[in-house]
Amino acid sequence: MTHNVTATSAAEAEKAITATRTDGHTERVRVFDTTLRDGEQAPGINLDAATKVAIAAHLERLAVDVIEAGFPASSPGDFKAVSRVAEAARGATVAALARILPEDIDRAAQALRPALKPRLHTFIATSPIHLKNKLFMTEREVIEAIAAGVSRARSHVADVEFSAEDATRTDPAFLKEAYETAIRNGARTCNVADTVGYCLPEQFGELVAWLIHEVPGGQEVVWSVHCHNDLGLATANALAGIRAGARQAEVTVNGIGERAGNCSLEELVLALRTHAGSIGLDTGVDTTHIGQASELTATSTGYPVPANKAIVGRNAFAHESGIHQHGVLLARETYEHIDAATLGLRGGQLVLGKHSGRHGFTAALAQLGVELSDAELRAAYAEFKAVADQRSPLTSDELRELAGKYRAGRETAAHALR
């Protein structure tokens, strides 16, 4: 990939960010959630209309700016689901996806009819690989399709987003022409899709900065980023695009989506919020609903959240090793820089296993409401270490049972004295 990207445009974008930072002003990044569209496209996920409405209600509680509800032309079921979400959502803009084909665009517009704030999101691939292998179209034909498609979308709704699919493997001069055509025909949001998760953060940031600077009309629209996780860089790439000037990020709850998934909503939101003071950018997301949204998405899609997933994984706020448990018991920020309570999650969770020490063991028993004398505690701890060395971690019930044996011993002794 060779982007004809000037160092000046990237430097200018960086300078703009520094300017926002020094005057203490925080600029807003719009969150476009595509859990119900790209997320649903992950193999094996099938969400019916009622489930989409339930997830959309959680997304509204999170206060995302846009909910992409589906791809109406893909099936009658999805048409109905998009319609139902459009009817139910009252705060967020509801988007529907359409290939840049008249019938797809009309179908999406029809599904969006009940929406208070409809957005038609139309796309076409621009890379030579996609033109040759999938679209069987020339570059001229693609430009004509963009002009016709975007203006048709605008004849239905005012809010039109255009995406160049596989933008990151597209010749920059042609990509520039594609976006210019979309803007001239009425697109208000231009989305740069790293469809196959190919870019490195510096490359992606430079491309976005270059497009904003070079595309005629590029300063008048909102630029958006859509990053996939094939190299594990989706969040890093989305952040690089935002720092280069994009003001919308397309994300999914738990990072689900095609193949390795999309940029995860919770990761992007927390990265921006954690560093809002230094980078001067933030989203409007109410993080207190993140825990619930993650759980509902996992159960509805059948895609469990990996234990070590950032922010919402079971272990994101759990500690097993003695040194970490001791630190967290003294002050939670020793090993947790995010306050789990602000996400609707529980922080400082102690997992009792072979790496745990006396401080963690004592605190875990206290949390279970088990009181032991010093001598009993010593004996129980010795047994715990022996058991945990063979089989860990121990569940709360196992811990209670283990400690109970020593406590029971004391009670038996007390009975005997009576």
Residues lying near Zn ion in the complex (CB under 5 A): 38
Query: How far apart (Å, rounded) are the C-alpha atoms in residues 179 and 162?
Result: 8
Rounded to 5 degrees, φ, ψ at 188 are: -105, -20
Nearer Cβ to Zn ion (159/250):
250
Nearer Cβ to Zn ion (165/214):
165
Nearer Cβ to Zn ion (38/68):
38
Tokens for 84?
């139902």
**Cβ 31 to Zn ion, closest distance in Å?**
15
Q: What 3-state class would DSSP assign to 15? A: helix
Which amino acid makes up residue 364?
A
Nearer Cβ to Zn ion (190/345):
190
**Cβ 195 to Zn ion, closest distance in Å?**
6
**Cβ 337 to Zn ion, closest distance in Å?**
30
Residues 6+ apart with CB under 8 A from 106: 152, 156
Rounded to 5 degrees, φ, ψ at 29 are: -105, 125
Nearer Cβ to Zn ion (104/214):
104
Integer CA distances (angstroms), 333 to 67, 288, 339, 353, in order: 34, 19, 8, 22
- The residue at minimum Cβ distance from Zn ion is 38
- 344-373: b (≥16 Cβ within 10 Å) or e: bbebbbbbbbbbbeebbbebbbeeeebebe
**Cβ 258 to Zn ion, closest distance in Å?**
5
**Cβ 47 to Zn ion, closest distance in Å?**
16
Nearer Cβ to Zn ion (38/78):
38
User: 20 near 242, Cβ under 8 Å?
Assistant: no
**Cβ 161 to Zn ion, closest distance in Å?**
13
**Cβ 328 to Zn ion, closest distance in Å?**
37
**Cβ 121 to Zn ion, closest distance in Å?**
11
Nearer Cβ to Zn ion (38/40):
38
**Cβ 34 to Zn ion, closest distance in Å?**
7
- Of 364, 366, 369, the closest CA to residue 384 belongs to 364
Tokens for 365?
């028993």
Q: Which helix (H) or strand (E) holds 291?
A: helix 290-301
Which amino acid makes up residue 62?
L
- Of 276, 207, 279, 282, the closest CA to residue 237 belongs to 207
Nearer Cβ to Zn ion (162/361):
162
Tokens for 354?
């072979």
Angle at 286 between CA 284 and CA 292, to 5 degrees: 140
**Cβ 262 to Zn ion, closest distance in Å?**
6
Nearer Cβ to Zn ion (226/326):
226
Nearer Cβ to Zn ion (195/356):
195
User: 129 near 157, Cβ under 8 Å?
Assistant: no
Q: What 3-state class would DSSP assign to 343? A: helix
Q: What 3-state class would DSSP assign to 80? A: helix
- Of 62, 70, 60, 74, the closest CA to residue 40 belongs to 70
